[in-house]
């Protein structure tokens, strides 16, 4: 696969997110050296393949901003709860504890 650069790395990092963990657009962007381009991470998710667990990627406050883009209205939340993550009203509970920062963890 040709290295698309930004997008490819976003997919790579998102796939590396451990089970039951989540990360933020800003954390990924910063890890890629594109801090401030958090929107591009979200855009990358929009065109991301199905093997990318985009449901593990949320905004900085643990709010499921992208759930509206999923097939089902509550699919994203269901996937997170399926991993043991507590989600209430599109808001991830214990977000700080579940946050997985690639720049920090790696």
Q: Which of 21, 70, 83, 101 binds DNA (CB under 7 A)?
A: 70
Q: Restricting to residues 21-40, name those near DNA by CB under 7 A.
A: 24-26, 34, 36-40
**Residue 71 and residue 18: Cα distance in Å, rounded?**
23
106 token code pair: 């790696």
| Minimum CB–partner distance for residue 82 and DNA (Å) | 16
| Minimum CB–partner distance for residue 60 and DNA (Å) | 3
Closest CA to 22 of 50, 51, 64, 75: 64
Q: Restricting to residues 77-106, name those near DNA by CB under 7 A.
A: none
Question: Left, alpha or beta for 81 (phi > 0: left; psi -120 to 50: alpha)?
Answer: alpha
- Residue 66 binding DNA, by CB under 7 A: yes
- Residue 75 binding DNA, by CB under 7 A: no
Residues forming contacts to DNA in the complex (CB under 7 A) are 6, 24-26, 34, 36-48, 54, 59-61, 65-70, 76
């Amino acid at each position: 696969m040709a290295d698309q650069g930004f997008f490819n790395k976003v997919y790579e990092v998102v796939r590396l997110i451990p089970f039951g963990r989540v990360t933020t657009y800003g954390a990924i962007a910063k890890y890629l050296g594109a801090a401030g381009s958090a929107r591009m991470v979200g855009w990358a998710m929009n065109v991301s393949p199905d093997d990318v667990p985009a449901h593990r990627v949320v905004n900085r406050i643990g709010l499921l901003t992208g759930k509206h883009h999923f097939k089902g209205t509550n699919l994203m939340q269901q996937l997170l709860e399926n991993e043991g993550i507590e989600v209430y009203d599109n808001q991830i509970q214990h977000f700080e504890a579940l946050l997985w920062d690639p720049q920090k963890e790696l």
